[in-house]
Amino acid sequence: MTTAQRPAATGALTPDVVERLLARAAAGGAPAVTVHAPVTGEAIAELPQSSAADIEAAFERARAAQRQWAKVPVRERAAVLRRFHDLVLAEQGAILDIVQTETGKSRVHAFDEVGDVAVNSRYYAATAPKLLARRNPRGVLPVLTDVQVRQRPKGVVAVISPWNYPLALAVSDALPALVAGNAVVGRPDNQTALTALWAVDMAVRAGLPEGLWQIVLGRGSVIGGEMIDRADYVDYTGSSATGRTIGRQAGERLIGCSLELGGKNPLLVLSDADPVAAAKTAVRASFASAGQLCESMERIYVHESVYDRFIGEFVTAVKDMKLGAPLDYTTDMGSLTFSRQLDTVRAHVDDAVAKGATVLAGGVHRPDLGPYFYEPTVLTDVTAEMTVYREETFGPVVSVYKVADDDEAVARANDTPYGLNASVWSRSAARGREFAARINAGSVNVNEGFIAAWGSADAPSGGVGISGTGRRHGPEGLLKYVDTQTIAVQRMLPIAPLPGMSEAMWAKTMTLYFRVMKALRQK
Ligand code: NAD
């Protein structure tokens, strides 16, 4: 395995940039924490933390700004997203430096985040006016009952996002909330707060009113409850365990929530698949951001007729991966972000090996590159007693299983409480689609790993089972942030018997009317 040099610098993240960004945070009332770069161990920032009073003030500011913002025509709000799109692309060099410094990921995976934000800002700018337009559905009595359906913003949306995709997950859920007329109070993970603060700064430069997108800082377990107590809607991305807590807290207040949670995603190489193409894509699909991606593959089921070809190509490609996280595009995979992620990865691999699994590639910690580097790892002979068989690793570890037929692959893919993402490989698109439809997952990519579905912004993304409830992307990703309001105006005649008409005659007339409407196939 070849390696690249350790980065010596934090690129655009100079001390004065850090200071400027921190001034945007609604924080300071609680003791600061020091944040370190995962790759170099250098301190990046003394991050102020938000007290309950800071959070209260952030929600008040957001609420005041939202009242004005809701009056701004949707087309003007959408124009802010268009300008934001252009700034994200123009400033990508600095953004990538910050994302890499905070997470330790390679630049190629950091760029996926820039792409995600660009695609979503363009999509919601283009679609918001239509999605939010007033509708005039037919009234109970055509002509006499005039009905309008309006979309009212929820108010202030709390976006609680994790550290693994700090730009995409802090921003791409906030954009549709904002364009729908809401304010956002975001709580990025402490480890990746500067990325979120850069995004807010950029949004203000794109024309977003000051105050509308607030950032509070703190550990989720400390300030999450304070946020949910004040929010009108909660958008949470993180583990299934925390998702349950958030869901309970939102339920107590009877506010809506969208929960984007964990996965144990399967990739199926069917009997008629091209094993070489599948192996090539499986590398990216398993090891993006060192496997710290909710959509990445942790289980691969390969039909026995193509197994040898697949495994040969896959293991060779994995062994060829270049490790390192310099601020350029020269490496294939970066570091894990925290020591606790490294601990989980080592525990899962060590447990599997102790119980008889075979390591075909990786399985090695690489402190020579940085404290949390771990080689991309391919396991076989994994059995149900091993932790890695069922539990999400959220690291660069994938288990490959040989299966005797394609139906077995589907059955084993579905043998999990998770259901976030899946990948199916077949030379026939129709057959791929047919198998995809049998998999319990919110998205299934045919002849792709995750980017085909994830990157298609007009298509919803989210989980089933313990992978979550609610959707991001597509119309669903915006409409969750509005309440529909129906305003019905009754004109000329009441919905009641005409003067002199008995209730019995009214019932008869209405019965006739219902029958005619059905005969005319009216809705
Ligand atoms: P985690 O649930 O421990 O933490 C995630 C974030 O939630 C952290 O920033 C944390 O501070 C915050 N948090 C923790 N307790 C909280 C609480 N009570 N209230 C509010 N916030 C709280 O998960 P993790 O292990 O750090 O993150 C990885 C997990 O996130 C994996 O399971 C991964 O699959 C999942 N994830 C899912 C998606 C998705 O879109 N479905 C995307 C990224 C990550």
User: What residue owns the CA closest to ligand 1's atom 5?
Assistant: 238
Is 260 among the residues known to form the active site?
Answer: yes
d(CA 121, CA 115): 10
Instruction: Judge if the beta carbon of residue 239 lies within 6 A of ligand 1.
Output: yes
| Residue 231 and residue 281 share a domain | no
Residue 465: inside a domain: no
Structure confidence by residue, pLDDT tens digits, 81-100: 999 999 999 999 999 999 99
Instruction: Judge if the beta carbon of residue 159 lies within 6 A of ligand 1.
Output: no
Residue 2: inside a domain: no
Contacts for 53 with CB less than 8 Å, ≥ 6 apart: 29
Quick one: pLDDT band at residue 1, thresholds 50, 70, 90?
Answer: low
CB contact burial 21-43 (16+ within 10 A = b; e otherwise): bbebbbbebbeebebebbbbeee
Query: What is the 68 CA–ligand 1 centroid distance (Å)?
Result: 32
* Pairing assessment for the beta strands 256-260 and 233-237 based on DSSP bridges: parallel
| Residue 389 and residue 284 share a domain | yes
Residue 360 sits in a domain whose CATH number is 3.40.309.10
Contacts for 49 with CB less than 8 Å, ≥ 6 apart: 27, 28, 29, 30, 31, 32, 33, 190, 217, 218
Q: Are 308 and 345 in contact (CB under 8 A)?
A: no
| Residue 404 and residue 305 share a domain | yes
Report which ligand 1 atom has the smallest distance to the Cα of 468.
Answer: 41
Query: What is the 41 CA–ligand 1 centroid distance (Å)?
Result: 23
**Model pLDDT, residue 7:** 46
Q: Which residue has the higher pLDDT, 421 or 5?
A: 421
| Residue 273 and residue 385 share a domain | yes
| Residue 318 and residue 277 share a domain | yes
Query: What is the 271 CA–ligand 1 centroid distance (Å)?
Result: 36
| Residue 371 and residue 336 share a domain | yes
Dihedral over Cα of 473, 476, 478, 480: its sign: negative
**Model pLDDT, residue 400:** 98
> What's the domain range around 441?
265-456
Residue 47: inside a domain: yes
Quick one: pLDDT band at residue 6, thresholds 50, 70, 90?
Answer: very low
| Residue 328 and residue 181 share a domain | no
Residue 464: inside a domain: no
DSSP character string of 318-355: HHTPPB---SSS--SB---SSHHHHHHHHHHHHHHHHT
Structural domain total, the chain: 3
Say yes or no to pLDDT of 181 above 60: yes
Mean pLDDT of the chain: 96
Contacts for 93 with CB less than 8 Å, ≥ 6 apart: 11, 12
**Model pLDDT, residue 482:** 98
| Residue 229 and residue 283 share a domain | no
Report which ligand 1 atom has the smallest distance to the Cα of 189.
Answer: 9
User: What residue owns the CA closest to ligand 1's atom 6?
Assistant: 162
Residue 104: inside a domain: yes
| Residue 358 and residue 424 share a domain | yes
Structure-block tokens of residue 296: 């990445």
User: What residue owns the CA closest to ligand 1's atom 10?
Assistant: 220
Three-state SS string over 394-450 comes to: CCCEEEEEEECCHHHHHHHHCCCCCCCEEEEECCCHHHHHHHHCCCCCCEEEECCCC
Instruction: Judge if the beta carbon of residue 192 lies within 6 A of ligand 1.
Output: no
pTM, to two decimals: 0.95
Structure confidence by residue, pLDDT tens digits, 352-376: 999 999 999 999 999 999 999 999 9
Instruction: Judge if the beta carbon of residue 188 lies within 6 A of ligand 1.
Output: no
**Model pLDDT, residue 11:** 87
Residue 468: inside a domain: no
Residue 418: inside a domain: yes
Residue 5: inside a domain: no
Residue with tokens 């091209």: 274
Catalytic hit among 113, 260, 298, 313:
260
**Model pLDDT, residue 8:** 43
Structure-block tokens of residue 53: 């009073």
Task: Give percent of the chain with pLDDT exceeding 70.
Answer: 98
| Residue 50 and residue 25 share a domain | yes
Structure confidence by residue, pLDDT tens digits, 408-465: 999 999 999 999 999 999 999 999 999 999 999 999 999 999 999 999 999 999 999 9
Residue 42 sits in a domain whose CATH number is 3.40.605.10
| Residue 243 and residue 342 share a domain | no
| Residue 251 and residue 274 share a domain | no
